[in-house]
Structure 1
Amino acid sequence: MRLYPEQLPQHLQAGLAPCYFIYGDEPLLKQEALDTLRRAARERGFDERHRFDADEGLDWDAIFDASQALSLFSARQIIELQLPDKLDKSGSERLRELTGQCHPDLLLLITGPRLNQAQQKTAWFKALAAAGPTVTVFPPDARHFPRWLEQRLHRYRLRAEPDALHWLAYAFEGNLLAVAGEIEKLSLLGLPQPLTLAALQQNVQPHHHFNPFQLLDPLLQGKVKRGCRILLQLRQEGVEAGMLCHLLAKELGTLLALQQALHGGQNFHQAAAALHVWSSRQPLMQAALGRLPLAKLHGLHAMLAAADRAVAAFDDDEAWRWLYSLCIGFLNEQPLIITP
């Protein structure tokens, strides 16, 4: 069973499952989901908790000893395990073995990073999914972020005027942890309701944050202004130009392969499946291909190659100029003039 964090309260009304796997790259939502499960467990008598990190130095036998030990103070216990970005063969085998240890007086709370499609097909992931619900934790996208903020404000009995809510979404996009702290602070100030734009600008310090993967969708959608804004913010946050080159090379490579397949008479969905494009991203890719002909994609690839050469020559400013030009190049089907 796959759950989202907001579904946990309703799910828990029917009782606790023996195992939960919470994974994703949004720290606030992951922590709150974990806290929700801990509270539900304490209410059901799980008073003892052991925490482990599955790094290279993990003693797996210590986890199994804890899972089988009887405590003088508590008959029910929680074992929490944080998984690394990559799980080796030994760790995969021991994790699958651990899921077989579940019993009514033991609760497994496993947390992990964002997983790609290949990782979700591994034996250890399938074992976790069979043992209990998987809780997927992703930040709300730009379309849904204002709604998330509205719900968060409501939790603290706050309301905001539409332009104030729009500003708040712009000021904190990608940084739920920061905006949650600001909303909590606002609840203590006793400001008149609904909150106005002027009140927020006077009392709140903007702090948006993006990860490199968030650059891709706006470019595919042709939302160049937003893409450039994300790119500039990534540079301010210290993201390496070389990392973005690698990320964009993979995305452009997929677009080129798809466009070439379409020119060869192949069906889009068959080509996308052969290239392991996630079904959720296929409509986005297909729409982008309608705007980016083969010649345009070759031009974008040439820009990316120039950025990559600048990275290799340690010319950071030149690399970022090429990346900025590349983002603008996603706007439409017009031919490119290859200059930064």
Structure 2
Amino acid sequence: MELKPEQLAAQVHAGPLRPAYLIAGPEPLRVLEAADAVRAAARAQGINEREIFEAEGNQREPDWAGMEASFNAPSLFASTRLFEVRLPTGKPGTEGARAISEFCANPPGDITLLVTAGDWSRQHGGKWSDAIARIGSVAIAWPVKPHELPGWIESRLRSRGLKADRDAVQLLADRVEGNLLAAAQEIEKLKLLSNGELLDVARMEDLVADAARFDVFRLIDAAMNGQGAQVSRMLRGLRGEGEAVPALLGMVIRELQTASALARAGNLANAFKAQRVWDSKQPMYRRALQRHDAKRWDGFLAQAGRVDSIAKGRPRRGQEPEDAWIALERLLLAVAEPRASRLLAVRA
């Protein structure tokens, strides 16, 4: 039976871990938190050794042969181990599907297998995911629909010891506009700022930042996540509020520099640590790195320098002055959508 991520998170703390878990879906926060629940349950049950298998460098898939060898090699340090397989595309390929299916046919008693996927649809599953379902649990993080968001927010508030009336919950839902990460961040802030009283609309209005202001952090996240339409909408909001392009570019350039360094890394897991990329943001970077290679990221950095020059009134010799906002939009749309890169070439 397919579970919701929140159901799986409750399940793993109720008893011994099962031999295998699959957590997948297009909603990164729900995937991450369900996977974190499995990891926390493993630690609570004395499972402290963890091995991670994911695509590295130019590889499109994890090292399946290495994973199978590890299945058959007893641990020197622990009696039970947690094996994580990370599939950003949600597709293990023929060899990976075989390896996972064979594991599930005769699961070793000293291994719990956790498979996570950053992309999922009804067509992604197959015999390998059915095999996981037979011996373990499958949780799919489908996007929270607009009419479901107030319920999701109310449940999360309650889990944090907070109470809010219906109108206050709806206000928060309207402000975050479907962004679960933004909602989670606002709820954590509410936990710090509220004093335990029932939150009504007036109090919620005082405590919650207006997420419709489209701050630069969410702007960059939208570009990295491939959400071109949201990028354009956010830029219009920022421009309307009187923000200045140079004030935004510092963070944009830092994110592009991080992506460029990750694109050149041989071991992405180590690179995430070196660049101090939070676990919650790693799926976003993985999606972005699938769209562009290192050379393209370098090109984006060069274009960011050009946007800075335009914003400071220093157009190229022989060219008419340009609108810095339009130049920034072209850059971020190219980051979000590879086909939009041609917009950069027009004015290069």
Q: Same fold (TM over 0.5)?
A: yes
- For residue 118 of structure 2, the aligned residue among 113, 119, 125 is 113
Amino acid at match of 2:87: L
Give runs of aligned pairs for residues 316-331 of structure 1, distance below 5 A: none
- Give the superposition deviation at 1:174: 2.0
Where has structure 1 moved over 6 Å in runs of 4 or more? none
Say whether 1:141 aligns with 2:134: no
Say whether 1:49 aligns with 2:50: yes
Alignment correspondent of 1:293: none
Alignment correspondent of 2:173: 169
Whole-Å separation in 2 of the counterparts to 1:12 and 1:30: 17
Alignment correspondent of 1:4: 4
Over residues 89-128 of structure 1, what are the superposed CA-to-partner deviations in whole Å (9 max), with x where a residue is unaligned?
Answer: 33333333343452221000001134222223x3333333
Alignment correspondent of 1:31: 32
Amino acid at match of 1:148: W
Whole-Å separation in 2 of the counterparts to 1:14 and 1:203: 38
- Give the superposition deviation at 1:48: 0.5
- For residue 61 of structure 1, the aligned residue among 44, 61, 65 is 65
In the alignment, structure 1 segments of 5+ residues that lack a partner are 211-229, 239-315, 317-340
1:145 touches 1:173 (CA, 8 Å); kept in 2? Answer: no
- Give the superposition deviation at 1:65: 2.6
Is the deviation greater in 167-176 or in 127-136?
127-136
- Give the superposition deviation at 1:87: 3.5
Alignment correspondent of 1:280: none
TM-score (norm 1): 0.57
* Percent identity over paired residues: 35
Give runs of aligned pairs for residues 1-340 of structure 1, distance below 5 A: 1-8=1-8, 9-10=10-11, 12-54=13-55, 56=60, 58-85=62-89, 86-100=91-105, 102-120=107-125, 122-191=126-195, 193-207=197-211, 233=230, 235-236=232-233
SS at match of 2:167: helix
Over residues 12-52 of structure 1, what are the superposed CA-to-partner deviations in whole Å (9 max), with x where a residue is unaligned?
Answer: 52432100001111111111111211222222221210111
Cα distance change on mapping 1:94 and 1:4 into 2, 3 Å: same
Whole-Å separation in 1 of the counterparts to 2:76 and 2:11: 33
In the alignment, structure 2 segments of 5+ residues that lack a partner are 219-226, 236-328, 330-348
Is the deviation greater in 127-136 or in 87-96?
87-96
Amino acid at match of 1:82: R
Whole-Å separation in 2 of the counterparts to 1:74 and 1:190: 44
SS at match of 1:119: coil
Whole-Å separation in 2 of the counterparts to 1:145 and 1:46: 35
2:20 touches 2:136 (CA, 8 Å); kept in 1? Answer: yes
1:48 touches 1:74 (CA, 8 Å); kept in 2? Answer: yes
Cα distance change on mapping 1:192 and 1:98 into 2, 3 Å: closer
Amino acid at match of 1:40: A
TM-score (norm 2): 0.56
Cα distance change on mapping 1:99 and 1:75 into 2, 3 Å: same
Structure with larger Rg: 1
SS at match of 2:182: helix
Cα distance change on mapping 1:104 and 1:87 into 2, 3 Å: closer
Amino acid at match of 1:6: E
Whole-Å separation in 1 of the counterparts to 2:188 and 2:182: 10
Whole-Å separation in 1 of the counterparts to 2:234 and 2:103: 39
Whole-Å separation in 1 of the counterparts to 2:177 and 2:117: 23
2:176 touches 2:211 (CA, 8 Å); kept in 1? Answer: yes
